[in-house]
Amino acid sequence: MSYLKGSLRNFLTRSAISLGLLFLVLCTVCGQLEQPHQQANAQSYRGEYSSHHSRQRNRTPDGVAGQFDYYVLSLSWAPTFCEDPEHRRAHECDPSRHTGFVIHGLWPQRENGRSPEYCGNAPLDETSLDEALRLMPDAGLARHEWRAHGTCSALSPSTYFDAMEKARHAVQIPAPYRDPQRGLRTSPATVEQRFAQTSHVAEGGVIRVQCAGNKLAEVRFCFTKSLEPRICSDSVGECRANTIFMDPVR
């Protein structure tokens, strides 16, 4: 009888160990199956949010200058942009600068479909670059924006950055968003409403919020070619989150 009890005990012990090992193997496999999906989401987020920040200096021109319907002025929220380790060396991510909203660019936009990019190889002269640096945090971003978007405006570099400055002066940052020292919980509709009020533009489509996950990424403003506020088309995109967060200025 004791022999049978011992054999049964050993059998149960071996079975428990086997089941435990099987559980660990299954968990490992499940983790490996989930990980690519999580990485894909992260890459998708970086690709969506960072596409205009990339410095594609050698891209072949593929757009036609002047073939667009209106402009989009994009203001990027630096605390969100700087969360990505790939961006930490960007000038706007230097903690000593305490950067909030940054001019991301002035983009020629079409009512529908893909907007033009990289419409020529016209160089950015030093005088125009100096003008751009009054508006943008670093020369790399200024050169990129000129080549990717400015060349599609059918304007000279100087005139293009003049237009960017005029559009920026039309936008007033709401007081709570100028230098928040604490994170803010808000909604895309609230951000759009506050910007509309301080910038004295009609609510209802002139301003579009972009988000990266549940965080504010950009605020975009639509202007006619003569730089008057106008309704954005669906091609500009819009944040679908009900609640978004604004990290404090670092």
Domain ranges of the chain: 1-51, 70-246
DSSP state of 202: -
Q: What is the DSSP string of 62-129?
A: -S-TT--SEEEEEEEEHHHHTTSGGGTTSGGG-GGG---EEEEEEEEE-SSSPPP---------HHHH
pLDDT of residue 85: 87
pLDDT of residue 199: 96
Distance CA 220, CA 75 (A): 6
Burial of 201 (0-12, 13-18, 19+ CB in 10 A): buried
* Residue 73 CA: distances (Å) to CA of 30, 55, 170: 44, 19, 10
Rounded to 10°, the helix 139-148/157-169 angle is: 110
pLDDT of residue 5: 44
| Residue 185, beta-bridge partner list | 245
**70-246 to CATH, choices 3.90.730.10, 3.40.50.10320, 2.40.50.140, 3.90.400.10:** 3.90.730.10
Burial of 86 (0-12, 13-18, 19+ CB in 10 A): exposed
Q: Confirm if 92 and 78 have CB atoms less than 8 A apart.
A: yes
pTM for this prediction: 0.76
pLDDT of residue 44: 31
Q: Confirm if 32 and 26 have CB atoms less than 8 A apart.
A: no
The radius of gyration computed from the CA coordinates of the chain, to the nearest angstrom, equals: 25
Distance CA 39, CA 187 (A): 27
Extract the tokens encoding 114.
């893909």
Q: Which residues of the chain have pLDDT under 50?
A: 1-8, 11-13, 15-57
pLDDT of residue 89: 83
Locus of tokens 């033009």: 116
Number of residues that make up the chain: 250
